[in-house]
């Protein structure tokens, strides 16, 4: 089974390096332009996060395909960091503690990174059970979702933050039922 992991196109918040999790932003003009300028792998089925930025990206890349939405592929809830960037958070005591923890502390009023990763992995495993007949799948999801799945399943193994991808980019993989073999960068 081939699985392409594609991060949604750029939003205004992404361009400003803001924590955009539960905020349901549309793609910005630049984000649309980047998506339209690239070629993406063919697929039999498109799977998407429920967030507007993912669905818009999926429709741009695969306009003739039906999009199947998986709720738990949504981005992390950044709580009190939502909509802010590192400049806004400079001097914030909890933000410094979060940085010092290597990004392991829960977001204030939001989700813990560990719970987020577990949610994404459970959704990935549920998806695999529900669509075994498809041989070529494209997931249009969030950077953190991609990082969560690849950290657990990709070979060669890399840590969570080593799987970061830019908006509109991702990875084409082959899944053998146990591991994801990286075929190429998208």
**């205004």: which residue's tokens?**
12
Buried b (16+ CB within 10 A) or exposed e, 62-81: beeeeeeebebbbbbbbbbb
Burial class, 43, CB count within 10 angstroms (exposed 0-12 / middle 13-18 / buried 19+): buried
No. of H helices and E strands in the chain?
A: 7, 7
Residue 186 structure tokens: 């998208």
Range 34-42 average pLDDT: 97
DSSP E strands, 70-161: 136-141, 154-155
pLDDT tens digit sequence for 49-91:
999 999 999 999 999 999 999 999 999 999 999 999 999 999 9
Say if pTM beats, i.e. exceeds, 0.75.
yes
Question: What token pair was written down for 122?
Answer: 């459970």
For helices 29-37 and 52-61, the axis angle rounded to 10 degrees is: 30
Residue-range domain boundaries for the chain: 2-185
Mean residue pLDDT across the chain: 96
Q: Which residue in the block uniquely carries the two structure tokens 């981005």?
A: 75
Q: What is the mean pLDDT of residues 38-54?
A: 97
Given 3.40.50.2000, 3.50.50.60, 3.40.1110.10, 3.40.50.1240, which CATH number is that of 2-185?
A: 3.40.50.1240
């Amino acid at each position: 089974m081939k699985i392409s992991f594609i991060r949604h196109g750029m939003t205004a918040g992404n361009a400003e390096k803001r924590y955009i999790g539960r905020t349901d932003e549309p793609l910005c003009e630049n984000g649309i332009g980047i998506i339209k300028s690239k070629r993406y792998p063919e697929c039999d089925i498109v799977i998407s996060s429920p967030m507007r930025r993912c669905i818009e990206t999926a429709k741009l890349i695969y306009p003739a395909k039906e999009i199947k939405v998986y709720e738990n592929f949504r981005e992390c809830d950044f709580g009190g960091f939502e909509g802010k960037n590192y400049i806004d958070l400079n001097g914030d005591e909890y933000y410094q503690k979060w940085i010092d923890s290597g990004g392991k502390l829960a977001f204030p009023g939001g989700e813990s990174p560990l719970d987020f990763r577990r949610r994404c992995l459970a959704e990935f495993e549920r998806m695999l059970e529900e669509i075994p007949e498809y041989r070529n799948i494209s997931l249009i999801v969030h950077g953190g979702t991609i990082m969560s799945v690849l950290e657990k399943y990709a070979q060669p193994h890399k840590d969570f933050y080593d799987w970061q991808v830019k908006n509109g980019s991702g990875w084409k993989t082959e899944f053998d039922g146990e591991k994801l073999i990286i075929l190429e960068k998208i």
